[in-house]
Structure 1
């Protein structure tokens, strides 16, 4: 993993806006409509090349494939591992349930993405590695062509798969998680073997508190979240920590967020995870104050912090000076070499859905790059 050795490096959480052609293709496949496989492959290959090029042109150091091929960051796994079918009832976050008028407005305005969330109805096992191989090939070609500082690829953690795909087959939650970890291990190892940094998306540790674990006592939530980390670590047992980064968040949506678990609770759990780098929200106005938690915590010397220094749910373009201030806070806590500038969450968590206009996404990323340069001037002066 590249570190900020002579300046603050920049990255983001992974998903980026998809074109209409890409969105139409992935939804056609999702809805089991006739798809020209060669045409779809060409569309995705071109989209990955274009999204990597634009990240590099914007100045982002550590880039992704934008998750072009995935309809969402968690449900894509149904095409790669067996045991999933059908759809499941939606389970809205507790904060939105507390404001039913807002929840209804979100749903009626298109603010709630529509796609299948299959249930686990059978034995989980590796089904098809070809979709992953296509992603790896497309990303490798784009990285070779545009030469970013480094490339990373997203994969769903066992916990987030369990969060969105309910278990109707295994005897209990722990057995379900372990089966997911055993099946996803092949994807995790293939990404690292291909030469990319593996990013595990694990909002179950934060968002899970007011979805999967809502209504449960605090002690039970903490125990279950720690179980999620234990199972994740088992899935990563063959991968060095410095090849992996972990993203945690409280849900990539504009909403009350007053039911979010505090960072005081989430951080000790997340720090038990094997990945060297931790990506987390720190621009979200419900959590922007929580840099103080990091200041007061015992952060292990081998951990790298990737705070979100720009928001992913609004069209405000952050001032570079504000970005620099956010970076400097964390650099003052753990040292400049252990901070990379990131985003609160992805900008297109679901294909065809994103609160931020595509051109504004890159303007925000550009502000992050400029802010990182300002912070670097101070931190290396």
Structure 2
């Protein structure tokens, strides 16, 4: 809504908070300031943004549409524009009628640049690099034909509220941890009831399976993926792709590296330690793999302040993941799984999409297929060097953000078998139930000492498969690979993105219970 010529200067509703963005555009810090002011507001409260930058009038409506906020009103007075934005949908009535906080004037700054560069709101610190790493401790053995869930578990609604409040700075760490602990107890109890052999904490503390790392590292900040609009070549196409691929864009946060990264805090060790206190069963922890993280974190509009090339960033990613894995193994974790779904995008993604793979939140450009596979192989080999292969796993799938199968990639594992075979990783956990994954026989090129977590249940289907149909798939896997090499699992996790679970917790438990019955049938055959 825009004022007609000659209209008054006031908005039709009083803003809750106002700030002056001066001449900043959306690609040079304005969106960060908007987030800083709008995140603490209650739903329906109003934020006024004062700007003299003409491009904001074009970019801000797209940002509002993607984030689920409403642009309620726009007032123009010469060069000055005053935008009134509601946090979330606007009901038509002002949430409060208090006077707005007076905007803080900003002085105009001269800028000379050829492309937008993301603003940094945090101080660059010297990254922490440990001098010693702990040795692996003994861990419970993962037996053949064990049932394991891939990782993520549907979060309760009250945890989702706490997670968003934590990300927006409205909930303290201790309060969030108390809620998350309760959610983990529920997730582990459900897996135990279902008869799972290898449990996870359900990734309950994470907003999604990969970018959570960015909020824990030195010199890395999490930004909403919608705030990347100013940095892509074609913002309108970017918006169309996000909507067409059914990505929960308004809820996904993306890591942005602004200095040399380091691991001062654990990424998942605390998750594993708490899960191990809840069960005597083997515990599995999933981490985003080094190729996925390198693709995700490399953004030329900001990462090149700290690193000359993507390869330089990738070396630090490998170092940090090795540090974390050492601590996880020392904590008694039986299996550390590296998630690398981007590998499917490399070999089966459509040409001409700018190298983006939104299923992974990875916006970095990619090179030719052979070059990317060689890059990924090198990172994974460096990561696994010297670590116990029997406690490392790698997971590859084709996209798990939507139950709509038409939105995910398709293609078998033949282009990836050579890479997987070359790794000092003892288990490959693969999506194999869906027809999109091709034939199981494509895996016969793996090494004989590599086990396969065979996806025999499609976690996206909104019904519980029968024991008979799942048993048939599992028996085929045993015939092709041998019983000693087979583990039983679902194709992927049940809630890759916290706000977009694929199924309910009740349905997830029922599916895992079917897997447990299939395991029992195979072991007693």
Q: Report the TM-score, using the length of structure 2 for normalisation.
A: 0.63
Conserved in 2, the CA contact under 8 Å of 1:62 and 1:152? yes
Q: Paired residue for 1:360, among 499, 502, 507?
A: 507
> Residues of 2 paired with 1:105 and 1:259: CA distance?
14
Whether 2:395 is the aligned partner of 1:247: answer yes
Deviation readout 1:56-89 (Å, 9 max, x if unpaired): 1110111101011111111111122223234553
Give the SS at the match of 1:342: strand
Moved more, 51-60 or 247-256: 247-256
Q: State the match for 1:60 in structure 2.
A: 196
Q: Where does the alignment leave 5 or more consecutive residues of structure 2 unmatched?
A: 1-139, 356-365
Whether 2:390 is the aligned partner of 1:234: answer no
CA distance 1:211–1:79, change in 2 (3 Å): farther
Conserved in 1, the CA contact under 8 Å of 2:441 and 2:480? no
Q: Paired residue for 2:441, among 278, 286, 292?
A: 292
Deviation (angstroms), 1:55: 0.5
Choose between structure 1 and 2: higher helix proportion. 1
Deviation (angstroms), 1:257: 5.6
Conserved in 2, the CA contact under 8 Å of 1:71 and 1:351? yes
CA distance 1:221–1:353, change in 2 (3 Å): same
Q: Which has the higher contact order (CA 8 A, sep 6+)?
A: 1
Whether 2:158 is the aligned partner of 1:21: answer yes
Choose between structure 1 and 2: higher strand proportion. 2
Q: Where does the alignment leave 5 or more consecutive residues of structure 1 unmatched?
A: none
Deviation (angstroms), 1:134: 2.8
Conserved in 2, the CA contact under 8 Å of 1:257 and 1:286? no
Whether 2:429 is the aligned partner of 1:279: answer yes
Conserved in 2, the CA contact under 8 Å of 1:3 and 1:338? no
Q: Paired residue for 1:310, among 457, 461, 464?
A: 457
Deviation (angstroms), 1:151: 0.9
Q: State the match for 1:162 in structure 2.
A: 294
> Residues of 2 paired with 1:266 and 1:348: CA distance?
25
Q: Report the TM-score, using the length of structure 1 for normalisation.
A: 0.85
Give the SS at the match of 2:398: coil
Q: State the match for 2:487 in structure 1.
A: 340
CA distance 1:361–1:211, change in 2 (3 Å): farther
Give the SS at the match of 1:198: strand
> Residues of 1 paired with 2:410 and 2:318: CA distance?
26
Whether 2:379 is the aligned partner of 1:203: answer no
Moved more, 252-261 or 323-332: 252-261
Q: State the match for 2:215 in structure 1.
A: 79
Give the SS at the match of 2:453: strand
Q: Paired residue for 1:115, among 234, 248, 252?
A: 252
Deviation readout 1:60-119 (Å, 9 max, x if unpaired): 111101011111111111122223234553899xxxx9xx7x974664xx7556221132
Whether 2:269 is the aligned partner of 1:137: answer no
Structure of greater Rg:
2
CA distance 1:211–1:38, change in 2 (3 Å): farther
CA distance 1:87–1:54, change in 2 (3 Å): closer
Conserved in 2, the CA contact under 8 Å of 1:322 and 1:371? no
Root mean square deviation of aligned Cα: 2.8
Deviation readout 1:293-340 (Å, 9 max, x if unpaired): 12xx33212100111111122212112112111111121122101101
Conserved in 1, the CA contact under 8 Å of 2:417 and 2:446? no
CA distance 1:211–1:48, change in 2 (3 Å): farther
